[in-house]
Structure 1
Amino acid sequence: MPPIKTPSVPQLRRDAKRLRRAWDMGEPAARRRVEAVQAPDRRTELKHADFLHIVARENGFESWPRLTWAAETVGLPRAARQRQLGQALAHGINWRVTALLQETPDLAHDLFGQSCAVYDRARVAVMLDEDPGRATRQCGRWRPIAHLAFSRYIHARPELVADMLAIAEMLLANGADVNDAITAEAAPGSPLSVLYGAIGHADNMALGRWLLEHGANPNDGEALYHATELGHHEGLRLLLSHGATPAGTNALLRALDFHDHGAVALLLEHGASADEFVPAGDGEEPAWVVPALHQAARRGCDRRMADLLLDAGADPLRPYQGASAWAYARVFGNRDVAEAIAGRTGTAALTEEEALLARAADGQDSPGRYIDPARLPEAYRDIIRTILHLPGRLDHLRRLVALGVEYDRPDAMGVTPVQVAGWEGLPEVMAYLLSLRPDLTHVNRYGGTLLSTILHGSTNCPAAAVRDHAACLELALTHGVALPRAAVEFAGREDLAAFLQDWAEAHPGQVV
């Protein structure tokens, strides 16, 4: 693990003064440091306090007063390690959690939330005995039960399950709420329940079961949807057996993403509607909201899945953003779904644009023919971003680009195709998109750059184990993408952290 640099407060004050002088002189490196922290409307008349704030943020603290408080109480070296432990716990980076605790076994002892998250039963009991109010008081960003629920440390220390559940009991006995929630930074208006934290985020079935048995609401709007992503059905069965209602959750659509016949059947058995269509509201993710047959078509589902949906009542005549389900299946190259629909309704004529897109999907070039993207129904505008992760679609992508389909168009959440390729860990697809010279400075609505999106995918892409995120990182860096210092520290995988550390040492001018 890279060493944690802990300069003294006087050194950091001098760094802030140097940064201010460099900013005043217009040095590019100083500009990058300021832009990484300060919003555009705050960069006009920067004062000394602003540069202190920037230095504090660069060193992982929320503000300069927080940094000096840490220095005066536990000392900067310990505070830096506690900060790194908190970040590792929040992002499920268990190898880093383990390394930090091996180095400093009592690292979490003076932080109640972290003590809960690492299942230190004895320490939690002592701290609650000293002050029972700790069970409901916010610790950092979250209350203690959220630190417990969102922790993925159980996968590193499964033998601590009894201690974990004992801590849950202690928190509940002292007033904690099993329906507590956190606020997600990317969606401040959409709270995430601790039940979602346990089941959908942490894949912690023991704690999820405990929460449900103690009154957690299974219809929290998130847990059921994300339970379809786990690669098993235990979370789904657990939630459904405690009264979760699939209606309005889009869990059925998410199960289609994974071609999971069992999950789809299970959801249909418990009341999911194959014909339900819930349009997105403000701030939601419209790319995920689509009629089920259209979803099956674009995700590459098979004939068995299409028949399962049709037999359950999916309407084969329902249009979506100007596209029929049959035409949609043809355009996305899904013959199975197209034939299943045609068997119920027959076929229909394709528009000129749909016919060209269908030819591309069928492996046919159309030399001298082009599509005006402005004339395409909205349903087809993001086709490159939508299909690029499917196996064997690179030649299909090339044919679409040759037709004039947009290859750098952000989707509804601001994610571009090259970012999707990086998140998916597909270096061959990413290299092709990079050859088209996309905007490498683009930031999506999640706040993700190309580099951070690749890192996020390395731990969150369901297929990460068989993908190559290291090669994607190398491609991005070779094309000149900046390497933030924090990326080295908070990479979710040990091999990627080592790769980024080596790159930073070999290319110091690229580090910002």
Structure 2
Amino acid sequence: MVSESPVPLPEQPSLEQLRNQAKDLRRTSGIPLWEAQLGVARRYGFTSWARLKQHVELLTRYSRFPERVATDSDAGTFLRLACLSYYDDEPGEWEQARRILERAPGLAEGNVYVGAATADADALRRVLAADPAAASREGGPFQWEPLCYLAYARHDPAISLAATLETARLLLDAEADPNAGYLWHGLPTPFTTLTGVFGEGEAGPVRAPRHPHSLALARLLLEAGADPNDGQALYNRMFEPGNDHLELLFEFGLGTGDGGPWRRRLGDALDTPAEMVRGQLAWAVTHGMTERVRLLVEHGVDVTAPLDGVTAASMAATTGHADLVDYLVAHGAPPLDLPPADAFVAAALAADRPR
């Protein structure tokens, strides 16, 4: 996609509307249809009509809007309340979901999505025996694959590790996709199974907690082929201290590879693996997360190139984290060489009165 100042696509772009725009342009300008289509594509920042069409089809296929979900059954209402949707999530909703289960304890019977969310391996086994393809069929209120309902369910932290892993294995053995996910409001960073397992985000760990068995479930998904370069999971977990998610993802190749199936679908709309981990480094430096900085550097994240246009050491100094400057320089970052104004800021933040 290239354009000096492209117009953003609507939240839910329509190919029919785009075709009509091209037809209108052809009528008003007298140019051939193919040229009008190219003009429309370039207006939205795409190099060809084919690429624009492919992108819109992708958005149509994967975009989800959780606030628009309507349910008319106990099963649908349970799933809507039980799972993180990253729209108005609250612990009170999980309590409501538990009450629905108490009122209708057989809800998982015959329903692959409820079976996944409740980690009811026995009920799930019966569903898959009759219909193995159900393991990868989208459905339920959010139009997710069953594995996503398992990953995003938060209604019952007492569900055992054994039940959780058995449920995941049943789905994966029936060819569920460990990289299953969706585009929240059509935004280009996918919310995957790993995203759901790791949880958190801007809502914080109370309203969007990680899965009770996050590390074990994430490991199983990664072993099954989930790509560790999960930009949304990294974003959601960068706000709070704690690096267990990064340690696990690095074990499976975070920062390397081609970005997996989602980057193959979305192309340059997604960061490369290297860009993802450098973004994590920039955040950790500016927020003084010393342990995270050390972990990222120890795993080979590049400190020699600029971060957001400045050197890593300068970023540390001008955000009040002088203790990181020597460490970053010792590990390859360019030495600190601040212009006078930035040097003053760094000295003030460090409470260095003489300097």
TM norm structure 2? 0.59
Does the alignment pair 1:97 with 2:94?
Answer: yes
For residues 191 and 97 of structure 2, what CA distance do their matches in structure 1 show?
28
> Residues 466-485 of structure 1, C-alpha deviation per residue, up to 9 Å, x if partnerless?
xxxxxxxxxxxxxxxxxxxx
Where structure 1 has 5 or more consecutive residues not aligned to the other structure, the ranges are 1-59, 280-288, 319-323, 343-512
Partner of 1:182, secondary structure, is strand
TM-superposed deviation, 1:215: 2.1
| Cα distance, 1:136 vs structure 2 | 0.6
SS of the counterpart of 1:232?
coil
Deviation at 1:111, TM superposition (A): 4.9
Q: Which residue among 70, 81, 86 is the counterpart of 1:85?
A: 81
Counterpart CA distance in 2 for 1:81 and 1:254 is: 38
**1:170 partnered with 2:199:** no
Q: Which one has more relative contact order, counting CA pairs under 8 Å at least 6 apart?
A: 2
The alignment status of 1:309 with 2:319, answered yes or no, reads no
Instruction: Give the distance between the partners of 1:192 and 1:277, measured in 2 at CA.
Output: 29
2:303 matched residue in structure 1: 274
For residues 176 and 316 of structure 2, what CA distance do their matches in structure 1 show?
Answer: 41
Report if aligned partners of 1:219, 1:244 keep a CA contact under 8 Å in 2.
yes
RMSD between superposed Cα atoms in Å: 3.5
- Cα drift, residue 172 of structure 1: 0.6
Partner residue of 1:395? none
C-alpha contact (below 8 Å) 1:247/1:272 kept by paired residues: yes
Q: Deviations over 1:111-160 (max 9, x none)?
A: 5334322323333223223322211111233211122223345xx52452
The Cα offsets for residues 403-444 of structure 1, whole Å up to 9 and x where unpaired, read as xxxxxxxxxxxxxxxxxxxxxxxxxxxxxxxxxxxxxxxxxx
Q: Is the 8 A contact 2:121 2:170 kept in 1?
A: no
Q: Give the direction of change, closer, same or farther, for the CA distance of 1:176–1:336 in structure 2 (3 Å limit).
A: same
1:198 and 2:197 are equivalent in the alignment: yes
Query: Distance between the aligned counterparts of 2:187 and 2:300, measured in 1?
Result: 30
Asked if 2 retains the 8 angstrom alpha-carbon contact of 1:200 and 1:226, the reply is yes
1:477-510 per-position Cα deviation (integer Å, ceiling 9, x unaligned): xxxxxxxxxxxxxxxxxxxxxxxxxxxxxxxxxx
Relative to 1, partners in 2 of residues 1:218 and 1:117: Cα closer, same or farther, differing over 3 Å? same
Deviations 1:169-210 (A, max 9, x none): 01111111112222122x522223322332354351111111
| 1:210 alignment counterpart | 220
In structure 1, what residue type is equivalent to 2:146? P
| Superposed CA offset, 1:19-51 (max 9, x none) | xxxxxxxxxxxxxxxxxxxxxxxxxxxxxxxxx
Cross-structure match for 1:503: none
Give the SS at the match of 1:253. Answer: helix
Aligned ranges 1:176-255 → 2 under 5 Å: 176-185=176-185, 188-199=187-198, 201=200, 202=210, 204-224=214-234, 226-245=236-255, 247-249=274-276, 250-255=279-284
Partner of 1:296: 316
Determine the C-alpha separation between the residues in 1 that align with 2:195 and 2:76: 29
Residue 145 of structure 2 aligns with which residue?
A: 143
Give structure 2 stretches of 5+ with no counterpart.
Answer: 1-66, 201-209, 256-272
Quick one: distance in 2 between partners of 1:325 and 1:241? 40
**Post-superposition shift, 1:231?**
2.5
Query: What CA distance in whole angstroms lies between the structure 2 residues aligned with 1:199 and 1:129?
Result: 30
Q: What amino acid maps onto 2:148 in structure 1?
A: A
Q: 1:80/1:334 Cα in 2 relative to 1: closer, same or farther (>3 Å)? A: farther
CA distance in 2: counterparts of 1:265 and 1:300, whole angstroms: 17
Q: Percent identity?
A: 28
Instruction: Tell me the matched-pair count.
Output: 251
Q: Give the Cα–Cα distance (whole angstroms) in 2 for the partners of residues 226 and 112 of structure 1.
A: 28
Q: CA deviation at 1:299?
A: 4.3
Query: After superposition, where does 1:5-84 map in structure 2 within 5 Å?
Result: 62=69, 70=72, 74=73, 78=74, 81-82=77-78, 84=80
Contact 1:273 1:312 in 2 (8 A): no
Structural mapping, 1:406-485, within 5 Å: none
Q: Give the letter aligned to residue 300 of structure 2.
A: G
Residue 262 (1) aligns with residue 262 (2)? no
Once the 2 structures are TM-superposed, how far is the Cα of residue 220 of structure 1 from its aligned partner? 3.4
Change (3 A) 1:123 1:226: same
Choose 1 or 2 for highest CA Rg. Answer: 1
Alpha-carbon distance in 2 for matches of 1:326, 1:196: 43
Distance across 1 between alignment mates of 2:97 and 2:152: 19
CA 1:317–1:260: 2 relative to 1, 3 Å = closer
Cα deviation, residue 95, structure 1: 4.2
Contact 2:313-2:324 within 8 A present in 1 as well = no
Residue 305 of structure 1: how far off its partner (Å):
1.4
Instruction: Compute the displacement of 1:332 (Å).
Output: 7.2
Q: What's the CA shift for 1:308?
A: 1.6
CA distance, structure 1, for counterparts of residue 99 and residue 78 of structure 2: 13
Q: Is the 8 A contact 1:181 1:193 kept in 2?
A: yes
